[in-house]
Structure 1
Amino acid sequence: MSVKRISQFFNPKSVAVIGASNSPNRAGFVVMRNLLQGGFKGPIMPVSLNHSAVHGVLAYPSIAVLPKVPDLAVICTNKNTLINIINELGELGCKHAVVIAAGLNVEQKQALKEAALAANVSLLGPNCLGLLIPHIGLNASFSHTVASPGKLAFVSQSAAVCSTILDWAKNKEIGFSYFVSVGDCLDIDFDELLDFLGRDAKTKAILLYIDNIEDIRSFISAARAAAFSKPVIAIKTGKTSAGALAAEIHTGGKQSSDAVYDALFQRAGMLRVNDLRELFAATQTLAMHPKLLKVEQLTILTNGGGPGVMAVDTLLQSSGKLAELSDETRAALNKVIPQSEMTSNPVDIFGDSAPRRYQQALEILLQAKEVKNLLIIHTPSALAPSEDYAEIIVETLEKIPKMARPYVMTNFMGEDAAYAARKVCANNAIPTYRTPEGAVGAFMHLVSYRRNQKHLTQTPESNTDDAKINKDAARNVVNEFLAEEQSYLSTHEASQILTHYGIDCIQTEVAYTPTEAKEQAIELGFPVALKLISPSIPSKSEVGGVVLNLNDAQEVEQTAFAMLLRIKNTYPDAHIEGFSLQKMAPRAGANELRIAIKTEPNFGPVILLGEAGTGLEFAQAAVALPPLNMNLAKYLIAAAHDKGVLKDRVLPEKVDKYRLCALLTRISQLVIDQPDITSVELNPILASNGQFLVLDATIGLSRYKAKANRKRLCIRPYPIELVKEVTLKNNTQAQLRPIKPEDEQAHLEFDQSLSKEDRYKR
């Protein structure tokens, strides 16, 4: 659906209510009441077989006899009547319809979708609350309350959440530019709405409540475009397995791992929050500070030690960072805080501080070059009345030019004593919060938003100039295995593909019997590692299928026989192909990593990074969506550290992060180039002396069959193959290439440089 069609859908001049009713327990009654009370200026035409008038408005017995073609129809009848109604609307020429009915099964949804397509009718719903557009007085919903005009757009798959949000927003005096319940997203989906709302001048921020996304590529494309111009904040349900199942049942769509959705929102430059309270808190925070933070470090000024510690704990537990005060700043603070000989961050001026000391400490921090973000915490006391201190903050800030100020947040603790202080701050556009945890949480929203906006500007290319990559040679190897109908490759086979991507694998020999294993071990030299080869047992170490440090031939043979016997007793139906043998690699002081590729529903392949071990699931890994470049690989490593799945161990050998980034980009390129690869498992990867050596690898294969309505990668790589050098008529050399996100600033500068004559001639 084009932005133009959405624009027409959201700007109707007339509305018909199909199934309008005078019975208070009917949706048709509530929708008619809401339309009439909302102040909509255009004609409202009820259609009812049972009533000659609804809410005092003349009703029509059928769609065919309506006096004019409605721009929008709100269908309030049961699910069994929908197909006929859509056909009648199409015959009349009505182009847009909201479908309230719920409970449609898969076949009914498909039939409704096909009918709407044939009738050229755009659908919102089914299973939705409806549509509210306050600035035109349109309340085409069965909501129990109204939406006030404002600058937030809210889009939700859950009708129940819509009702809750409307009720809460009314109490908080929060208004909306658009309030859209998309329901089952049969036609109009998040991507079309994001395209429209991202361009809409009345909308300053977009809020999403998501149960499931079917077309990930369309969503992320639209979300990235919208996030360039305004904050896009989302709640995604299904964080737990039980929640994911409930969301799957609710929407009928297959759920992917929650960690993959995290990666999606990060890559789209969006901000994800956990609940409805956080949703509005994050919106208000971003509204007060629309620019990105310059740095992520936070400085804390407090007149109470306990609240300062609470703030620090919350910050560090959220992967935040404390600013380090300079010696100059610490010396200046020590002069005004006599009880302290060694001031640090948080800066505690103590509960008995007079206003003068408070102001002096604040002035020092506001002028310190290293202080870019400042949280001021105040606890009330007889010597430190909250409102007086709020006035001091306002007066002190006014002395400093806005461009030179750090970002300032306040936390006035308490209720009665703090209310007036918070009001002073709010009236002066200074963000203020009730608790230290709330203030730090708001700050971390800004940090997350800053980090995710960095992801937004990255545009990895479809091809790479990495000399170690030979995708055609790798393609030939893949085709050979597919011709042999192999779907599972163990280390000795997988290495034939991986080496063409510059990924080093340890020398691996194959034996089919314990006796052959003994002979191969003698040729390799001792000590050796013996590993079972079986596509039936993906995690071999859990069943004793991996034995290390075998020191002689007899030990190898005996271990191989024992391994076969153990597997036969434990997994009698397992298919055993043989054994792999590797000379033991030196592991002392080395780090052991794990990288995997998994194929997720709707998303396609995703990349996981964690520490070596068994059972690498999404909870034990950091996740990224391909394609990756060096910057995105760096962000993935940082995310793994923040999540605690990649630890900075006290070892002689530190992980070479630059080369790890290069390894991750090669894995990403493998995903892009080889669509027949469905999974990759590199575990463990030995990181030592700046090198990465794969000790165990598996690859899953399946002949890729392209689908017209489904793209394999949810993010398309930048099409570097379309870049070309050209010579203009005046012999100027120029490059023609597809646009990149980072071109935006250059476009603005070019546009501003045009004269009126230039614009006219263009």
Structure 2
Amino acid sequence: MGTRYLESLFNPTSIVVVGASERADSLGGMVLRNLMSGEFPGRLLVVNQNDYNDVHGVPCVRKVSRMGFVPDLAIVCTPPDTVPKMIRRLGEEGVRTAIVMTGGMSRAHSKTGQPLMYSVRDAARETGIRILGPNTIGLMVPARSLNATYAHMGALPGKVAFIGQSGTIASSVIDWAFARGVGFSYFLTLGDGMDIDHDDLIDYLAQDSKTRAILLHIENIPNARRFMSAVRAASRTKPVIAVKSGRVPESEWFPYDLPAGLHRSDPIFDAVLQRAGVLRVDGLGQMFDALETLTRMRPLRQESLVVMANGVGPGVLAVDRLAHSGGKLANLSQKTVDELAELLPDFWTRRNPIDLNYDASPELYAKAIKILARDPEVANILVLYAPSLTEDSLQIADAVVQAVKGTRLNVLTCWLGQSTVLDAREEFYRAGIPSFFAPEKAVKAFMQHVNHQRVQRLLAETPESFTDHFADHTRSRKMVLRALRAKRMMLSNKEAREVLRDYGIRTIDTVYCDDVEEVIETFSVERRPVDVTLVHEQSCHPFMEQSTGRGRYKSTIQGLSNEPAIIDSCKQLMDEYQRHFPDSGFLGFAVQRSSQHVGGVEFSVGITRDANFGPLVVCGASGAQINVITDRQIALPPLNMVLARELLRRTYMYKLLQEYSFHPEEDIRAVSETLVTLSQIVIDIPEIKGLEISPLLFNNQGAIAVDVAIDLSEQAGRPIIQPYPRELEEWILLPKSGRRVIIRPVLAEDEPAHRVFHQLQSPESIRYRFFQYRKHFSREDVAQMVQIDYDREMVFIANAPREDGKGEETLGTVRVWTDADNLRCEFAVMVHDNMKGEGLGLALMQKMIDYCRSRGTMEMVGNVLPDNRPMLTLAEQLGFEVTYNRDEEIMDLRMVLNEPEKDWQRERLRTTSH
């Protein structure tokens, strides 16, 4: 739905409370009292059908039609059956936003039989009003003295936004945060989320300068694609921390239809949040611990940790937790060890963790920190202190604070105990240094910082939508469509192998036989041992063995070396098939030479589909002796090699591959390439519902698929992450030089050429583009330019082969940033100095204008320095309206791309115009 009218929700100047009375149990009365006690500065009004002159001193009218003015925000607290009609009336009166606090609307039903909350949604859509709720605790904006909730206490002002789904959880969060001194920029719950949802609010908060971090409590994600796009955009600029409840089937509020091959929904949400750049934590306590480190510590230069304590015990507890969490201790340089040895007792272990001894003084803590600060291998220190009779905890805390100043270290502290160390913890809080009660909590918070940076690195990966195998997938796609026209919901085993071969995945040579006689005839050709598999309709569906019970039947017999053994085995396979799958049509036998592949590490890789999150790439163990489903890990397509390796790294089989493979790096690459290719298959042929290769083995030529199954669906959807839009590629000839240039969307892999492009530009061209002189562009600077979300922004680059034949060079670029409602986009364009006069700027701009117009964007705007005559001339040539902005001393450019169709669009464009 976007951010339409959310400003009226978050910053209202007038509020009407519908259904408030002075009864002690009146929900509206509670909300009204909170508004008044919070000293809301705007105008208040009550609507109550009873003939009250006022409620708690606030003027009251009987009907919405008698309000006398149109409030920015309405708060509805009337009985469930009255709410849809009330929302309709408020919308017809011109009210833009409403908070529906009334509960029970998911259980109460209208005359049509549907839950009343859907009637509320329909009324809102028909009248254009935005709805928060129903069944929401409401909204707090502490900095604006707005407490529109029924919560038992108000929140402190701060820079953290909280979006929840449960009112009772939200009440405890307020209490918890108040005790820890955490304040909020915004605090609200979605309730049933019939209109305003996570993605709408995250889009708003991502642009809010008063919000430094976003906390999410998630029970479900209705609109996966919009959620993913909004959160990916937000998490690039500020930390997003999430608690997802309902991790096991027993705690899920609504039944979840699991994709084939999975036995829990929680790993899907893990994969979604990780790909969105979100730090997922296990509970509310961890949420605030993570918030402490992410907002108070610098970005981590290294992931290793130094542990320093005044005793062995606390340091050992910290190291145990660090190892359990997948962290690692920093290695101290010999120089650091020698310098510390001069300060510490002779029995010191001369390694990390560092035991300062129970009588460590403030001076010793400070000196040790300064020595560690000089070690290039040390970036993060956990300083622990257990109360001692010999030293004062506050003095040691002050020494640590002073020693850390001016260093490049990330320091977090743990002052164990309670009553005697509270002042020390307060000292750390004032200094902006994270402090914790227990070593385990401190290490966990540190590892959350590590994990957040890891998911941020994954977020920076922008996968391409094609692989090294430029497959002619036209044949495979025709095969799939032909099967669907024949009402077949799966491909035959032979057809599935052809799809893999089209995409460059090697498969075992297989001969298909209709009966036992053909199997014997196949064996007699080479007289080598063979493996025989019985193929039937149900066996052609992916993940069939997990759903029917692995090990209960035999479908393949290996190493058959004579005709009697083949005859007996085929009979055995037929008996097993008839006993377990009497209704599944018999399709014949598949015969493979036993020597084609090797044993050892067996992988199961493939594609499954979730009804909400679309296709999922899965990877894990294969084989009857292994718990296949437990090891199965999930990632969202599209994938590139970095993302595929990360998926593989999370499996148990990855460790086995490293330990037992003769060529681990080659095999790791082979599995990763297969995963990337599978993600491409499901993008190219969205009718493929599921695909499983089991097992994927290795021989001297790399990875090879032993068996494969593919099923189909006419309703299968596309990935929730927009892949590289290859259809936007276009070749042009430059009129002056005749050089052939491709104009295409940018890829993450363009970073090196893009960096060279900026380095070769003249200072004047850089000033025209960035409004300042810049001598240096770091890899991180350019990476942000090329790693984009194609759903939210677009960058077209003009590339051509280099004259030395070594790759491509970038000749020009144009980018747009589009708001969440697709109303306005802002452009920036730059062309290589050597390309002036070639018409490349015109070609780039025209392609971007056409693209934005086709997406339905209303306006394109830009800013140009007054002395940038080439760009101003180009703008006039393209038809931009050019005006001088006296306040900013720049030229404003504006072009109407599409006419707005709705009043709110016209109003937003008018109020936000330059």
TM-score with structure 2 length normalisation?
0.76
1:165 aligns with 2:185: no
Corresponding residue of 1:75: 76
Matches within 5 A, 1:494-509: 494-509=496-511
- The answer for unaligned runs of 5 or more in structure 1 is 250-254, 706-710
* Amino acid in structure 1 at the alignment position of 2:438: T
Match of 1:199 in 2: 207
| More deviation, 743-752/295-304 | 743-752
Aligned to 1:760: 890
Amino acid at match of 2:117: K
- Does residue 515 of structure 1 match 2:517? yes
For residue 58 of structure 1, give the secondary structure of its aligned residue in structure 2. Answer: strand
Distance 1:645 1:260, change over 3 A: farther
Q: Does 1:750 align with 2:780?
A: no
Trace 1:525-674 onto structure 2 (pairs within 5 A). 525-537=527-539, 538-539=544-545, 542-585=552-595, 590-614=600-624, 619-640=630-651, 648-654=658-664, 656=666, 657-674=668-685
Match of 2:725 in 1: 719
- Whether the aligned pair in 1 keeps the contact of 2:101 and 2:138 (CA below 8 Å) is yes
Which residue of structure 2 aligns with residue 14 of structure 1?
14
Which deviates more, 131-140 or 255-264?
255-264
Taking a change above 3 Å as real, the CA distance of residues 445 and 458 of structure 1, as seen in their structure-2 partners, is same
Distance 1:629 1:563 in 2: 40
Q: Quick one: distance in 2 between partners of 1:74 and 1:82?
A: 11
**How many Å separate the matches in 1 of 2:770 and 2:736?**
21
Which moves more between the two structures, 598-607 or 644-653? 644-653
Structure-1 separation of matches of 2:465 and 2:386: 56
Alpha-carbon separation, structure 1, partners of 2:310 and 2:525: 72
Q: Does 1:677 align with 2:683?
A: no
Preserved contact between residue 14 and residue 70 of structure 1 (Cα < 8 Å): yes
Asked if 1 retains the 8 angstrom alpha-carbon contact of 2:132 and 2:196, the reply is yes
Q: 1:313 aligns with which of 315, 320, 329?
A: 320
Alignment of 1:45-60 (within 5 A): 45-52=45-52, 53-60=54-61
Specify the code of the residue in structure 1 equivalent to 2:710. I
Indicate if the aligned counterparts of 1:129 and 1:183 stay in contact, CA closer than 8 A: yes
Task: Indicate the residue corresponding to 2:135 in structure 1.
Answer: 127
Amino acid at match of 1:565: D
Q: Could you tell me which residue of structure 1 aligns to residue 329 of structure 2?
A: 322
Residue among 114, 120, 129 paired with 1:112: 120
Specify the alignment match of 2:884 in structure 1: none
Q: Pairwise mapping of residues 34-433 of structure 1 onto structure 2 (< 5 A)? A: 34-52=34-52, 53-105=54-106, 106-245=114-253, 257-289=265-297, 291-340=298-347, 343-353=350-360, 357-398=364-405, 401-402=406-407, 405-433=408-436
Deviations 1:198-234 (A, max 9, x none): 0001111111111111111100101011111111111
8 Å CA contact 1:654–1:688 kept in 2: the answer is: no
1:228-270 Cα offsets, whole Å, 9 max, x none, are: 1111111111211112245869xxxxx9811111111111111
Per the alignment, residue 458 of structure 1 pairs with: 461
CA contact (8 A) 1:259 1:618 kept: no
* Residues 539-565 of structure 1: CA deviation (Å, up to 9, x unaligned): 175412222222322112101211222
Report how far residue 29 of structure 1 moved. Answer: 1.4
- For the Cα contact (< 8 Å) 2:137–2:189, is it kept in 1? yes
Matched-pair contact (CA < 8 Å) for 1:462–1:718: yes
Q: What residue is the counterpart of 1:252 in the other structure?
A: none
Q: Does the 8 Å CA contact 1:620/1:645 hold for their aligned counterparts?
A: no
Indicate the percent of aligned positions where both proteins have the same amino acid: 34
CA contact (8 A) 2:469 2:503 kept: no
In the alignment, the residues of structure 1 paired with residue 746 and residue 121 of structure 2 have an alpha-carbon distance, to the nearest angstrom, of 35
Aligned counterparts of 2:255 and 2:100: Cα–Cα separation in 1: 21
Distance, in Å, in 1 between the alignment partners of 2:282 and 2:494 is 44
Which shifted more, 743-752 or 438-447?
743-752
| Contact in 2 for aligned 1:132/1:180 (Cα 8 Å) | yes
Instruction: State the Cα distance separating 1:369 from its structure 2 match.
Output: 0.7
- For residues 384 and 647 of structure 1, the distance between their equivalents in structure 2, rounded to whole angstroms, comes to 52
Query: Does structure 2 retain, via aligned residues, the 8 Å contact 1:234–1:273?
Result: yes
CA distance in 1 between counterparts of 2:225 and 2:437 reads 40
Q: Tell me if 1:31 matches 2:31.
A: yes
Residue by residue, what CA displacement relative to the aligned partner does 1:298-322 show, whole Å, maximum 9, x if unpaired? 2222332222222122112112222
Contact 2:5–2:97 (8 Å) recurs in 1:
no
Give the structure 1 partner of residue 476 of structure 2: 474
Q: In structure 1, what is the Cα distance between the partners aligned to 2:722 and 2:632?
A: 23
Equivalent pair of 1:411/1:433 in contact (CA under 8 Å): yes
Following superposition, the deviation at residue 336 of structure 1 comes to 3.9
Q: Aligned letter for 2:86?
A: I
Q: CA deviation at 1:356?
A: 5.4
Per-residue Cα deviation, 1:583-611 (whole angstroms, up to 9, x for no partner) = 12466674221112110121010011112
Q: Is the Cα–Cα contact under 8 Å of residues 589 and 652 in structure 1 kept in the other structure?
A: no
Q: 1-side partners of 2:96 and 2:560: how far apart? A: 74
In structure 2, the residue matched to 1:489 is 491
Q: Counterpart of 1:461 in 2: which secondary structure? A: coil
Q: Which moved more, 1:732-741 or 1:466-475?
A: 732-741
Conserved? CA contact 1:640–1:646, under 8 Å: no
- Aligned residue number for residue 703 of structure 2: 692
Deviation at 1:156, TM superposition (A): 1.1
Cα 1:283–1:348 shift into 2, 3 Å: same
8 Å contact from structure 1 (residues 626, 713) kept in 2: yes
Which stretch of structure 1 is more off in the superposition, 360-369 or 517-526?
517-526
Residue 410 of structure 1: CA displacement? Answer: 1.5
Give me the whole-angstrom Cα distance separating, in 1, the residues matched to 2:563 and 2:409: 69
RMSD (Å), alpha carbons? 2.9
Q: Helix, strand or coil: the match of 2:186?
A: strand
Question: Relative contact order: is structure 1 or structure 2 higher (C-alpha 8 Å, sep ≥ 6)?
Answer: 1
Amino acid in structure 2 at the alignment position of 1:22? E
CA contact (8 A) 2:619 2:632 kept: yes
Code of the aligned partner of 2:621: E
3-state SS of paired residue (2:575): helix
SS at match of 1:455: helix
Shift in alpha-carbon separation, 1:644–1:19, aligned structure 2, 3 A: farther
How much has 1:275 moved relative to structure 2?
0.6
Structure 2 residues not aligned, in runs of 5+:
107-113, 258-262, 759-765, 774-863, 869-888, 893-914
Alpha-carbon displacement from aligned partner over 1:77-134 (angstroms, at most 9, x marks no partner): 1121122212211221112111112222444333322221111111111111112222
SS of alignment partner, residue 602 of structure 1:
coil
Superposed displacement of residue 172, structure 1 = 2.6
Q: C-alpha distance in 1, partners of 2:291/2:685?
A: 41
Give the Cα–Cα distance (whole angstroms) in 1 for the partners of residues 148 and 350 of structure 2: 59
Does the CA-based 8 Å contact 1:157-1:209 persist in structure 2? yes
Closer/same/farther in 2, CA of residues 2 and 673 from structure 1, 3 Å limit: same
The whole-number CA distance in structure 2 between the counterparts of 1:655 and 1:281 is 37
Q: Is the 8 A contact 1:525 1:583 kept in 2?
A: no
| Structure 2 Cα separation of the partners of residues 348 and 730 of structure 1 | 73
Match of 2:841 in 1: none
Code of the residue aligned with 2:496 in structure 1: it is A
Change in CA separation of 1:425 and 1:167 when aligned onto 2, cut-off 3 Å: closer
1:389: how far off? Answer: 2.8
